[in-house]
Amino acid sequence: MAKRYDLIVFDWDGTVMDSTAVIVDSIQSACRDLDLTVPDDEMARHVIGLGLNQALRHAVPDAPESMYESLVARYRHHFLAQGQAIPLFDGARETIAELHGAGYWLGIATGKNRAGLDRALESTGLKKYFHATRTADQTFSKPHPAMLLELMDELAVSAERALMIGDTTHDVQMAQNAKVDAVAVGYGAHPPEQLQELNPLALVGDFAELRAWLRANA
């Protein structure tokens, strides 16, 4: 079967790595450290996928501007304390290796910063599979289309030959803004019903289902 796509772009947190709970806990712990209003789980999950500064401004809107630098520092302290123990989702490594072996260009578009993504790629051993990556400190944060536009430009792939895979409405909206097809995964930060409202090309429940969809449709 002829390939429908040349480039497949993954989000990272909540899509490839099972980090949602750690991110939520790190946001909430950072707020407690600084005696700020602690966002509930739903709010903390909703901002996952955004660049860190943007995420914290949404999650803790009543924090004084002068405190955001400290809030970022405390978030990173808590996240890094747990970061090495965060697992990949079951089937993630095998799916990514299979796609790489089949000749797809593979990319990452993530709300992490460059240092954080580089650490994750090194610790998981997945760096060798990805041809290009973009982080929120390199360009505009989701749902702005810049990450996808830059990845497509770097790899000389047109929008109709690219696919975005992510677990948040920010991922799907970014893809739509870039005129790129999107597959949503319902096991991450945003509830499946929120994702479905955006009418992604598909909504899958785990990596086994994603792998089967890609084999049949990508």
Q: Which residues are designated catalytic?
A: 11, 13
Q: Are strands 132-135 and 162-166 parallel, antiparallel or unpaired?
A: unpaired
d(CA 55, CA 44): 8
Look at residue 184 and give its three-state secondary structure.
strand
| Helix-helix angle 114-124:68-83, to 10 degrees | 0
Instruction: Detail the DSSP E strand segments found in the chain.
Output: 7-10, 105-110, 132-135, 162-166, 181-185, 202-204
Burial 107-124 (b: 16+ CB within 10 A, else e): bbbbbbbeebbeebbeeb
Q: Which among 171, 163, 160 is positioned nearest to 194, based on CA atoms?
A: 171
Cβ proximity of 38 and 32 under 8 Å: yes
d(CA 211, CA 1): 16
Q: If 0-12 CB within 10 Å is exposed, 13-18 middle and 19+ buried, where does residue 64 land?
A: exposed
